[in-house]
């Protein structure tokens, strides 16, 4: 009798709300065609990591509807473990977002997620997904904005993972349409005690501090003093900077023709965590992060253009290269 193979634990666990995404090709009020896909900050990161060859688990809730089935089918097709995803049987629907291009790379996003299945996520849904042997728990500041139970789930997961020696990564990822800066600060500050790696844009750093008027240097110093091991600041087209107690490392962005900026931050996180999982030093992690972000901005969609491991070197090929 053949003994079943023991499945290795996921290297990364993440959770949050993944929604159906309707993408317009022109202004919504003028009508026209829409493309249907899925999107969510955490699942974007999960797909990015899976494409780079990592074992990733996504947990959360979806509605017992066709859009929920689409979410789960898409994640599974991308190699993401959804064994701990919950299909809500209470009638809550899968959330929906609409994107429309406005000016160049400026995109307007409308959310329909109030009362959604994803917003009802709770610690009971998430804690079983944390596996012994996992190396990273990835969180964003979007999830605690969805509901009190979602905020409770984020804090419980961060506390449990940190106590178990799992690296906790928090991407602030502030969404002003979900909550105010003051509400975000109240929910995010307690997470610092359980966070090892904080990722944020320059303007998001004050959201984890008691004082909202702190400059970047003061903010980073305060965050490191709170016990966070590393702060990575995303600077968009100007690259990124890593801060640790041992010093500062800068990395320039890849120069590409931007097509769609949505999902670039998630792609950056996926690249950075991939480098961390491979044991790379900070300069190499940052280089991988800006590379995966460049793939995102050079293609349309939140995650569709993210690279596989063997595609990471494509930006180093001369313009006009045809790979045969």
| Catalytic residue IDs | 266
Q: Is 127 helix (H, G, I), strand (E, B) or coil?
A: helix
Angle between helix 282-297 and helix 264-277 axes, rounded to 10 deg: 150
Closest CA to 223 of 188, 256, 186, 271: 188
**Rounded Cα gap, residues 293 and 279, in angstroms:** 20
C-alpha dihedral sign at 169, 174, 179, 184: positive
Q: Decide the pairing of beta strands 19-24 and 96-103.
A: parallel
The tokens 């944020």 sit on which residue? 200
What number of other Cβ atoms are within 10 A of residue 234's Cβ? 24
**Rounded Cα gap, residues 51 and 45, in angstroms:** 10
DSSP state of 81: B
**Rounded Cα gap, residues 274 and 27, in angstroms:** 36
CB 277 within 8 A of CB 135: yes
**Rounded Cα gap, residues 251 and 241, in angstroms:** 6
Query: How is residue 93 written in tokens?
Result: 């629907």
**Rounded Cα gap, residues 306 and 20, in angstroms:** 19
DSSP state of 213: T
What number of other Cβ atoms are within 10 A of residue 50's Cβ? 22
Closest CA to 303 of 26, 68, 73, 40: 40
**Rounded Cα gap, residues 194 and 113, in angstroms:** 28
């Amino acid at each position: 009798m053949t003994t079943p193979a023991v499945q290795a634990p996921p290297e990364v666990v993440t959770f949050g709300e993944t929604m159906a995404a309707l993408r317009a090709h022109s202004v919504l009020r003028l009508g026209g065609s829409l493309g249907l896909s899925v999107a969510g900050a955490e699942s974007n990161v999960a797909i990015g990591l899976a494409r780079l060859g990592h074992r990733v688990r996504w947990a959360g809730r979806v509605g017992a509807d066709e859009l929920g089935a689409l979410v789960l089918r898409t994640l599974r097709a991308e190699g993401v473990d959804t064994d701990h995803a919950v299909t809500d049987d209470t009638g809550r629907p899968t959330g929906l977002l609409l994107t429309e291009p406005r000016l160049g790379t400026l995109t307007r996003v409308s959310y329909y997620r109030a009362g959604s299945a994803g917003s009802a996520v709770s610690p009971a849904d998430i804690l079983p997904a944390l596996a012994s042997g996992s190396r990273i728990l990835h969180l964003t500041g979007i999830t605690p904005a969805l509901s009190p139970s979602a905020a409770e789930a984020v804090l419980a997961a961060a506390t449990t993972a940190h106590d178990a020696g799992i690296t906790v990564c928090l991407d602030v990822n502030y969404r002003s349409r979900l909550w105010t800066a003051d509400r975000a600060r109240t929910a995010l500050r307690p997470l610092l005690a359980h966070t090892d790696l904080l990722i944020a844009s320059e303007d998001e750093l004050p959201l984890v501090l008691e004082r909202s008027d702190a400059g970047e240097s003061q903010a980073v110093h305060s965050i490191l003093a709170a016990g966070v091991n590393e702060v990575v600041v995303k600077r968009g087209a100007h690259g990124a900077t890593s801060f640790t107690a041992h010093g500062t490392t800068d990395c320039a962005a890849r120069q590409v023709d931007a097509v769609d900026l949505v999902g670039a931050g998630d792609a950056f996180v996926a690249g950075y965590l991939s480098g961390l999982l491979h044991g790379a030093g900070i300069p190499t992690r940052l280089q991988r992060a800006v590379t995966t972000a460049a793939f995102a901005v050079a293609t349309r969609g939140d995650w569709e253009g993210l690279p596989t491991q063997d595609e990471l070197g494509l930006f180093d090929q001369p313009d006009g290269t045809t790979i045969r």
